[in-house]
Chains A and B, each alone.
Chain A
Amino acid sequence: MTDLATMEFHPRPQAGEPKPWAFPAPERGALDNGLTVLRCHRPGQQVVAVEVLLDAPLDAEPAGLDGVATIMARAFAEGTDKHSAEDFAAELERCGATLDMHADHPGVRVSLEVPASRLPKALGLLADALRAPAFAEDEVSRLVRNRLDEIPHELANPARRAAKELYKELFPANSRMARPRQGTEETVEKIDAAAVRAFYDRHVRPATSTAVVVGDLTGVDLDALLAETLGAWKGSPAAPRPVPAVSSDDTGRVVIVDRPGSVQTQLLIGRTGPDRHDRVWPAQVLGTYCLGGTLTSRLDKVLREEKGYTYGVRAFGQVLRSAPDGSGAALLAVSGSVDTPNTGPALQDLWQVLRTLAEGGLTDAERDTAVQNLVGVAPLKYETAAAVAGTLADQVEQHLPDDFQATLYQQLVATGTVEATAAVVNAFPVDRLVTVLVGDAAQIAGPVRELGIGEVTVVSAE
């Protein structure tokens, strides 16, 4: 009785007049050394983001040296012709800057974030790292040792372990994508300074690289600054490299990575599908959001909010690698973790959600909410310079036009319920999904076999 609220209630308010917002258009240019530059002024964003893309993809790594791109990327921050490794890190941090390096299938990304007032100095350090990395033997061997130490930590993490297994299952054994991005113990221990230097000499040069600069550039003479920093980087011209085709085997099957004693089972259920070059992309984004984009999407409505089997399960599409001719691919997947005793029931429900979706399709209301969210959150999502720079760099890396994201928002608005349904049903066909479960095989293998979602194999976690 005491719970009757005494407040004065008002009807739910209506939205005001929306204010225009558009994904920023970058200005595109090139330096004399061939480096492509995209710049974008974002008033008020005092922390400037710089993304540099190097055309040094993982498939360029020499046979048996998986991980050399990763070690090279990390070694950029370990000393130059002007600074020792320790001094370089100190100088960078003196600018209040962060520098992150990441080697992935499309290439190497180097990301700098720094307060605008210290951009000149930090950009100078970044340019030194790319132009004249020291690759000292002692530092490289330390990075190799460090990388080897990281591997057991990754294998012990259920989500990382699941990803490793899914890639191994999906892609042919001779494909670079089948193997861990940062290498295995066997390949990493073979990497030395000479191998890193050789990889750098062969694949890193300004003519095949792009720099994206985003932030509040008020009072910054960016042309002059770029000319004296990244402009000093020299290298031979080079033709763009061909992108190998991506093939995968999505025969429906289940692999259990045995992790005895696990209180939860990590799920990663996926296959490959169209990337951003495909006309279906906007509909696929929309449909995938309706399936598993948030806790009110179809999967979590059942698995979390009705059954309580999980803290959350998400469906997503993540581009693996794109090619100018549109032959690239994205990983389409569902991931999350469910408690061990409910692993069978949770998978049964998950498959039922997919079947129901295929049979009945999405509703117009679901589609509308998804569009409103995906389009409406754009100004929030792109508030920071780093977010804008990241997307602009993704576009370059995926051979997309600079206005791709801006156009995508218009396409989402124009995508109907029927198209979104077709796209998500095609993306997640119930009989063509590879399911990886990292969990206690003794407890989950039996119930999972009974589901009939594909042949079940159990492998050890090591």
Chain B
Amino acid sequence: MPMGHTATAEAGSGGLTATEHRLANGLRVVLSEDHLTPVAAVCLWYDVGSRHEVQGRTGLAHLFEHLMFQGSAQVKGNGHFELVQGAGGSLNGTTSFERTNYFETMPAHQLELALWLEADRMGSLLTALDDESMENQRDVVKNERRQRYDNVPYGTAFEKIFALAYPEGHPYHHTPIGSMADLDAATLEDARAFFRTYYAPNNAVLSVVGDIDPEQTLAWIEKYFGSIASHDGKPAPRDGALPEVIGGEIREVVREEVPARALMAGYRLPEDGTRACDAADVALTILGYGESSRLYNRLVRRDRTAVTAGFGLLRLAGAPSLGWLDVKTSGDVEVPVIEAAVDEELARLAAEGPTAEEMERAQAQLEREWLDRLGTVSGRADELCRYAVLFGDPQLALTAVERVLEVTAEEVQEVAKNRLRPDNRAVLVYEPITPEGADADGDEDEEEEAK
């Protein structure tokens, strides 16, 4: 699959192919052969994420993902982990806004075991799910939340930005980790209902990539997954559509015990799967990825007002994507100084567009990221599932890099002009407080508190 005139014309998707199949129960299957290394990746995407959660039950999709590792009809306790690792495999699961994925990378001769394990929990999880697992994993997930978000500086910025950028009641207003109160409130019956609603073969895509015999693999998949009943009744997720721009800046100032001032912002950007989203990716790369980006050159190199400056894209298919700006200030520099410089740089890109050199740089960086992602069997399996679940066509994974390379300077300028504007962002400012000035209770959001 040639990719035009770039330096790695044969590298990106050359030689990569994928075939698609569907079992009678609706399970979609994607296979991709690659015999370079004797390994095989199994990846299973369920079309359910935190956007499907209802009010009062945030975090349920992720808590449920943990329960998927607590045993099923033929797999005792932690057997899923034990069997995969004992076979020389590695595994995990993750939950995002739009999907929950489970994956095993196995030595090729252990592929059948991974398929058997995934089928067992897809078909029989509820025969093993009990209160003990529920209570234990609730505690584990609460500790995950503490470790990754609550106990680290700026740790809750991610959920604050989403809460600001996506309005109350919007399916992306809350993040997958959920709130402590909701994690406490989740019941075993909630988990059971969640499984019955969303964990069905017709709500999933299975990909297998690597040193495989496709015919044999398909026969195993039919054998293990084929008898699992499909079921309907999955409610459509709440509509994530929003106007193209926010229409006015949203702002929150957080006063917390953090090491430095910070300016963060979420910009509302085009949905994943569109050409405009690829253009936004290139625009944000030019502005804020790597050490030759405009914001890095301006804030870190020239003005020397920031210790780090970056701009990244969170692609979302069911709602506008989010462009995430993150700048930590240097020394005593005040946030307005940073903000004025950022605004200037964004306005300049909108007014003048990128240079040819910047386009080349950004596209080369994005191309390498794709090569990295498609360079491992697990990365390829995940991307095939992603395009199958979110866009209905796994083949799009193999041509994604071509689309990024087709983006023109005009399209980058267009997205900068239309979207990277002050009236289209949710701003989060961190102002440090000293420990003495901290609330005696030391917990919760101190955004309104005086210094």
Q: Which residues of A contact B (CB under 8 A)?
A: 2-10, 12-13, 15-21, 43-47, 77, 85-86, 89-90, 92-98, 113-118, 142, 145-146, 149-150, 152-153, 155-158, 260-264, 266, 294-296, 301, 304-311, 337-339, 368-369, 372-373, 375-380, 383-384
Contacts and interface: CB of A to CB of B under 8 A. Distances in A.
Contacts of B253: none
B362 to A, nearest CB: 8
A47 B372 contact: yes
Interface in B112-143: 112-113, 116, 119-120, 123-124, 126-127, 129, 135-143
Contacts of B8: 46, 96, 115-118
B376 A383 contact: yes
Interface in B260-293: 260, 290-292
B38 interface: yes
Contacts of A6: 123, 227, 229
A379 B37 contact: yes
Contacts of B111: 16
B194 interface: no
Contact of B371 (A115, A260, A311, A377): A115
Contact of A96 (B107, B124, B364): B364
A115 B147 contact: no
B341 interface: no
Contacts of B226: 8
B207 to A, nearest CB: 16
B290 A295 contact: no
Interface in B127-183: 127, 129, 135-144, 146-148, 150-153
Given A13-B113, A150-B307, A379 B258 contact: no
B82 interface: yes
Contacts of A369: 82, 85-86
A376 B87 CA distance: 7
Contacts of B378: 380
Interface string B49-86: 00000000000000000000000011001100111011
Interface residues of B, number: 97
A155 to B, nearest CB: 7
B81 A90 contact: no
Given A47-B375, A116-B11, A376-B107, A339 B146 contact: yes
B292 A89 contact: yes
Cβ-closest 5 pairs across A and B? A376-B88, A308-B139, A261-B442, A7-B123, A5-B124
Nearest to B73: A5
A142 B304 contact: yes
A219 to B, nearest CB: 10
B424 interface: no
B2 interface: no
Contact of A146 (B11, B34, B307): B307
Contacts of B85: 294, 296, 369, 372-373
A264 B364 contact: no
A86 B36 contact: no
A383 B38 CA distance: 10
Given A117-B8, A264-B147, A294-B81, A380 B367 contact: no
A45 B226 CA distance: 36
Contact of B78 (A92, A155, A158, A295): A295
A43 B34 CA distance: 12
B236 interface: no
B7 A383 contact: no
A378 B82 CA distance: 17
7 contacts: A4-B127, A19-B38, A44-B36, A86-B301, A261-B442, A307-B136, A379-B38
B375 A45 contact: yes
B248 to A, nearest CB: 32
Contacts of B38: 18-21, 379
A89 B73 CA distance: 55
B365 to A, nearest CB: 6
Given A146-B300, A379-B39, A260 B435 contact: yes
B78 A311 contact: no
Contacts of A149: 260, 307, 328, 330-331
A261 B257 contact: yes
A94 B364 contact: yes
B375 A372 contact: no
Nearest to B229: A6
Contacts of A43: 36
B185 to A, nearest CB: 17
B388 to A, nearest CB: 23
Given A15-B87, A15-B113, 5 more contacts: A3-B129, A7-B123, A15-B112, A380-B90, A380-B378
A97 B77 CA distance: 44
B365 A93 contact: yes
B116 A12 contact: yes
Contacts of A306: 136
Interface in B175-209: 192, 196
Interface string B218-249: 00100110111100000000000000000000
A153 B329 CA distance: 11
Nearest to B74: A9
Contacts of B368: 47, 96-98, 113-115
Contacts of B86: 368-369, 372-373
A152 B365 contact: no
Nearest to A265: B151
B364 A93 contact: yes
A15 B110 contact: yes
A331 B196 CA distance: 47
Contacts of B82: 296, 369
Contacts of B127: 3-5
B211 interface: yes
A295 B81 contact: yes
B116 A13 contact: yes
B357 interface: yes
Contacts of A310: 140, 143, 147
Contacts of B36: 43-44
B37 A10 contact: no
A93 B136 contact: no
A252 B417 CA distance: 62
Contact of B153 (A93, A96, A117, A153): A153
B375 to A, nearest CB: 6
Given A9-B74, A118-B8, A261-B438, A3 B143 contact: no
Contacts of A372: 85-88
Contacts of A383: 37, 39, 375-377
A266 B147 CA distance: 9
Nearest to A438: B151
A16 B110 contact: yes
B297 to A, nearest CB: 6
Given A44-B36, A308-B139, A90 B292 contact: yes
